[in-house]
């Protein structure tokens, strides 16, 4: 079978086509790239536009760009072999490859591999033929008499089986899956929204001929084989830090989703902001001098405090300052609000006009927010300003969050007391039937 191998190292890139048996791929691959290097990494993947795709003979895509960025930062050369996804899993399990991507998180893989932070976030949708009477709740359930389909060996196919759907059809490709849907052979197909849109356009199909309903957000990772982790114990930590510093893996909210969040969730958040207990706590903070850090903190001190804060956070603890802030009245209110089941957020924090955290429901990753996009909320001229960020995956809570930021104002005089950021649990918000 034809195997495409891509060698990456430094500034050089070579694309070669081989005819070889799968069992010999890993050793040959490593030797051709750099037989003396113990750091060279052998990875398996499959084509999956727009994440991994060919463009003028070069392997590219959003995932490849993130990996290139991260591996450059940690100075690791690596090679990629293209093969069907199931074969990639088998080769990693058998020790014939050092790792593979993209994969959903799976407890079954824990016996032979360890995951990285997400390389990509997908929005999976249920796709059906469009009907005039389609409603927003028209999604299949395992106990219904419907036939669902997915691409053979795909992440979506594994997920469908895990959800307990009894009547599942596996198509050899996304093109075939769409054809089965058009012919009425299946009632619903589950697929990544971006991949479906790309294939639909390639086939010159009208978007109005299909209905899409939200199925799930899914973090897709790279798995390192246990034997590679054993030989390179620092690789996972280093790569995750590098991925954090490279192009973020996000999902954009579409127009309807933003409208729903504005209509339902922002209303709930505003109720939190206007509570007398929070306003009084923020007034007290603004009117008192903190002997530990002062009301206005010098730039040098901010850098030092932020460094201590981030180092402690990376080790799963709270810095001295973070621990103190967690005990104040602002934090106490946010922690109480977090336990309110009517509010769908995984975190909430308030920062001042300097960008510094003054209250939080749980420890944040950093103290200084002034270099982040959310800090721009202070430039808005209206008290009703709202900033809704792209969706990201939070590994600590295993939730998909969108940070919603808005100013908190004093109802007596209109003064801005700070800015509240809420990490909204988007899955809970968009799948609720309220």
CA–CA distance, 238 with 235 (Å, rounded to integer): 5
- In the chain, residues under CATH classification 3.30.450.20 are 255-431
Average pLDDT over residues 382-395: 91
Is 243 exposed, middle or buried (CB count within 10 Å of its CB: 0-12, 13-18, 19+)?
A: buried
Average pLDDT over residues 268-288: 88
Q: Model confidence over 164-199: pLDDT tens digits?
A: 998 899 999 999 999 999 999 999 999 999 999 999
- In the chain, residues under CATH classification 3.40.190.10 are 2-118+220-245, 122-218
DSSP one-letter code for 374: G
Q: Model confidence over 77-98: pLDDT tens digits?
A: 999 999 999 999 999 999 899 9
Predicted confidence band of residue 69 (pLDDT cuts 50, 70, 90):
very high
Position with higher pLDDT, 23 vs 43: 43
What are phi and psi for residue 33, nearest 5 degrees? Answer: -80, -50
Average pLDDT value for the chain: 85
How many other CB atoms are found less than 10 A from the CB of residue 366?
16
Percent of the chain beyond pLDDT 70?
A: 86
Q: C-alpha 83: how far from its chain's center?
A: 25
34 has a pLDDT exceeding 50: no
Taking CA atoms, 164 is separated from 140, 188, 220, 273, 274, in Å, by 12, 15, 21, 41, 44
Asked whether 43 and 81 are in contact (CB, 8 A), the reply is yes
What is the DSSP secondary-structure string of 329-366? HHHHHHHHHHT-TTS-EEEEEEE-TTSBEEEESS--S-
Is 411 exposed, middle or buried (CB count within 10 Å of its CB: 0-12, 13-18, 19+)?
A: exposed
Average pLDDT over residues 317-333: 95
Residues in the chain: 434
2-118+220-245 adopts what CATH topology? Answer: D-Maltodextrin-Binding Protein; domain 2 (3.40.190)
Percent of the chain beyond pLDDT 90?
A: 62
26 has a pLDDT exceeding 60: no
In this prediction, residue 68 carries a pLDDT of 93
CA–CA distance, 293 with 368 (Å, rounded to integer): 13
Asked whether 410 and 372 are in contact (CB, 8 A), the reply is no
100 has a pLDDT exceeding 50: yes
Shortest CA distance to 188 belongs to which of 152, 163, 215? 215
CA–CA distance, 50 with 343 (Å, rounded to integer): 35
Asked whether 337 and 300 are in contact (CB, 8 A), the reply is no
CATH number corresponding to 255-431? 3.30.450.20
16 has a pLDDT exceeding 50: no
219 has a pLDDT exceeding 70: yes
Taking CA atoms, 66 is separated from 45, 118, 221, in Å, by 14, 10, 12
In this prediction, residue 7 carries a pLDDT of 52
20 has a pLDDT exceeding 50: no
292 has a pLDDT exceeding 80: no
Give the strand pairing for 387-394 and 399-409: antiparallel
Q: Model confidence over 205-215: pLDDT tens digits?
A: 999 999 999 99
Average pLDDT over residues 220-230: 95
Looking up tokens 């760009």 gives: 65
Asked whether 355 and 369 are in contact (CB, 8 A), the reply is yes
Q: Model confidence over 103-162: pLDDT tens digits?
A: 999 888 989 999 999 999 999 999 999 764 454 456 788 888 889 999 999 999 999 999
Residues 6+ apart with CB under 8 A from 287: none
Q: Dig out the tokens for 112 from the structure.
A: 């032979």
**Strand (E) positions, 139-238?**
148-151, 168-171, 188-192, 210-225
In this prediction, residue 187 carries a pLDDT of 93
CA–CA distance, 430 with 434 (Å, rounded to integer): 10
CATH class of 122-218: alpha beta
């Amino acid at each position: 079978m034809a195997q495409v191998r891509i060698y990456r190292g430094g500034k050089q890139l070579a694309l070669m086509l081989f005819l070889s048996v799968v069992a010999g791929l890993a050793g040959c691959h490593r030797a051709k790239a750099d037989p003396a290097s113990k750091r060279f990494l052998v990875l398996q993947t499959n084509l999956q536009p727009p994440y991994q795709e060919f463009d003028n003979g070069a392997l590219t895509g959003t995932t490849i760009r993130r990996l290139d960025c991260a591996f450059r930062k940690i100075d690791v050369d690596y090679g990629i072999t293209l093969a069907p996804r199931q074969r990639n899993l088998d080769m990693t399990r058998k020790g014939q490859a050092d790792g593979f991507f993209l994969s959903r998180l799976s407890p079954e893989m824990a016996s032979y591999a360890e995951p990285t932070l997400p390389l990509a976030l997908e929005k999976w949708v249920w796709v059906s033929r469009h009907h005039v009477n389609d409603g927003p709740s028209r999604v299949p359930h395992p106990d219904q008499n419907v036939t669902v389909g997915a691409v053979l060996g795909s992440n979506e196919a594994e997920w469908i089986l895990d959800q307990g759907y009894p009547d599942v059809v596996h198509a050899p490709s996304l093109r075939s899956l769409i054809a089965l849907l058009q012919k009425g052979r299946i009632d619903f197909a589950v697929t990544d929204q971006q991949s479906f849109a790309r294939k639909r356009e390639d086939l010159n199909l009208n978007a109005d001929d299909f209905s899409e309903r939200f199925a799930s957000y899914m973090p897709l990772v790279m798995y390192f084989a246990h034997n590679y982790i054993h030989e390179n114990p620092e690789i996972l930590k280093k790569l995750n830090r590098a991925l954090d510093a490279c192009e973020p893996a996000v999902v954009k909210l579409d127009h309807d989703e933003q409208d729903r969040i504005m209509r339902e969730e922002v209303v709930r958040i505003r109720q939190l902001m206007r509570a007398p207990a929070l306003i009084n706590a923020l007034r007290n903070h603004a009117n008192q001098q903190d002997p530990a850090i002062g009301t206005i903190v010098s730039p040098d001190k901010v850098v030092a405090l932020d460094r201590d804060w981030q180092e402690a956070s990376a080790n799963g603890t709270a810095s001295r300052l973070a621990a103190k802030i967690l005990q104040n009245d602002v934090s106490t209110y946010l922690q109480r609000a977090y336990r309110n089941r009517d509010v769908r957020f995984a975190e909430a924090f308030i920062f001042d006009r300097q960008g510094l955290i003054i209250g939080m429901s749980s420890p944040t990753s950093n103290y200084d927010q002034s270099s982040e996009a959310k800090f721009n909320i202070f430039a808005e001229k209206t008290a009703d300003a709202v900033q809704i960020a792209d969706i990201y995956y939070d590994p600590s809570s295993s939730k998909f969050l969108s940070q919603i930021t808005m100013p908190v104002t004093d109802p007596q005089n209109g003064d801005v007391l700070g800015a509240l950021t809420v990490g909204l649990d988007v899955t809970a918000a968009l799948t609720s039937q309220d």
